[in-house]
């Protein structure tokens, strides 16, 4: 949970003008993680880590799909988010790209040939047997997938979202979750894009229109409280 006064205390502060922040003042509110929440991990597949922790423009000739340093910087925070969710028994849903040489592309980029390994989830985030893993071919994790059925089955009313790219599949999925009436918390440090500007402005947009953009520490604190509550109930039982 973050207070109303911290509403604009986010990474976009250096790219959004004071005038624009004033325009959006009426949107300020307390942010929070929903009650019966699930974690949605979007497109953390090998392709976006290729070439190592360099800037995407340096990687472009050989690895045009890599998010380079932005992807690598998010590895540790994302690992912490996932283990925090596991500890709090938050169900985890991984979505990754469908490998198919003839697939419908989820962006309009010119593609280099891909291999199946490119679409597998990065080893740092290997799913556990109790997690749900599914594939998609379009930006939104809901489009043409059974995600909403999974959420309905477990009565999940809200999502924590992490992954990439902020402006692409993260935004598309957050928008659709919002349209379906789900509360969404996007974890700032656990999302990334090829471009820092795009990352920041898309977080800004989502925060004001569709979701609560939250810092990793805020989300982890919330999850920790849930573990403590659970332990208290277990002790008193």
Partner 1 sequence: MNKACWDDFLTERDKQVFSQGGFGAIAGMGKRPALLIIDVSYNFCGDKREPILESIKRFHNSCGEDAWNSLPHIKSLRDKCHDKGIPVIYTTGIVRDDGWDKGSWAWKSSRTNEDVNNGAPNERDSNRDGNDIMDEIAPGPRDIVIRKLKPSAFFGTPLMAFLNDLGADSLIVTGTTTSGCVRASVLDAFSNNLRCTIVEEACFDRSQASHAVNLCDMHAKYADVVSINEVLPRLEAIDPVYNLPTGSPLK
How many CB atoms lie under 10 A from the CB of residue 25?
Answer: 9
Query: Given the rule CB under 8 A, which of 21-29, 39-47, 89-97, 175-183 is the region that contacts partner 1?
Result: 175-183
Asked whether 194 and 67 are in contact (CB, 8 A), the reply is yes
Choose one: 23-31, 68-76, 98-106, 153-161; the region binding partner 1 (CB under 8 A): 153-161
Angstrom distances, CA of residue 5 to CA of 2, 8, 201: 8, 8, 20
Of these, 1, 87, 114, 148, which contacts partner 1 (CB under 8 A)?
148
Stretch that binds partner 1, among 37-45, 76-84, 142-150, 192-200 (CB under 8 A): 142-150
Under the binding rule (CB under 8 A), the answer on residue 149 touching partner 1 is yes
In terms of CB distance, is 140 or 166 closer to partner 1? 140
CA angle, residues 88, 91, 95, in degrees to nearest 5: 135
**What is the H or E stretch that residue 159 is in?**
strand 158-164
User: How many whole angstroms separate alpha carbon 83 and alpha carbon 63?
Assistant: 30
- Least separation in angstroms between CB 153 and partner 1: 4
Tell me: does residue 179 bind partner 1 (CB under 8 A).
yes
Stretch that binds partner 1, among 59-67, 112-120, 147-155, 190-198 (CB under 8 A): 147-155
Give the C-alpha separation, 210 to 171, whole Å.
9
Confirm or reject binding of residue 153 to partner 1 (CB under 8 A).
Answer: yes
**Residues 214 to 233: which contact partner 1 by CB under 8 A?**
none
In the bound complex, what is the minimum distance in angstroms from residue 168's beta carbon to partner 1?
A: 23
Looking at the Cβ atoms of 151 and 170, the one nearer to partner 1 is 151
- The verdict on 209 binding partner 1 (CB under 8 A) reads no
Pick from 43, 48, 40: nearest CA to 132: 40
- Under the binding rule (CB under 8 A), the answer on residue 150 touching partner 1 is yes
Q: Please, what is the minimum distance in Å from the beta carbon of residue 158 to partner 1?
A: 10
Contact between 132 and partner 1 by CB under 8 A: the answer reads: no
Which secondary-structure segment (H or E) carries 223?
helix 216-236
Q: Reduced to 3 states, what is the DSSP secondary structure of residue 93?
A: strand
CA distance 214 to 188: 6
Among 72, 136, 171, 182, binds partner 1 (CB under 8 A): 182
**Is 155 near partner 1 (CB under 8 A)?**
yes
- Residue 159 CA to residue 162 CA, distance in Å, equals 10
């Amino acid at each position: 949970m973050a207070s109303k006064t911290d509403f604009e205390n986010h990474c976009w502060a250096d790219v959004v003008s004071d005038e624009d922040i004033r325009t959006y003042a009426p949107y300020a509110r307390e942010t929070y993680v929903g009650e019966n929440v699930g974690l949605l991990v979007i497109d953390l597949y090998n392709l976006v880590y290729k070439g190592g922790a360099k800037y995407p423009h340096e990687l472009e000739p050989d690895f045009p799909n890599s998010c380079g340093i932005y992807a690598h910087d998010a590895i540790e925070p994302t690992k912490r988010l996932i283990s925090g969710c596991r500890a709090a028994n938050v169900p985890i849903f991984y979505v990754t790209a469908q490998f198919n040489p003839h697939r419908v592309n989820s962006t309009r980029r010119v593609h280099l040939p891909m291999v199946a390994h490119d679409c597998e989830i990065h080893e740092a985030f290997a799913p556990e047997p109790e997690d749900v893993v599914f594939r998609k071919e379009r930006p939104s994790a809901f489009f043409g997938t059974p995600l909403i059925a999974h959420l309905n089955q477990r009565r999940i009313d809200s999502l924590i979202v992490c992954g990439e790219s902020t402006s692409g599949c993260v935004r598309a999925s957050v928008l659709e979750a919002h349209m379906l009436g789900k509360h969404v918390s996007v974890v700032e440090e656990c999302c990334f894009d090829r471009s820092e500007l795009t990352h920041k402005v898309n977080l800004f947009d989502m925060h004001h229109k569709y979701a609560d953009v939250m810092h990793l520490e805020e989300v982890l604190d919330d999850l920790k409280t849930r573990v403590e509550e659970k332990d208290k109930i277990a002790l008193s039982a």
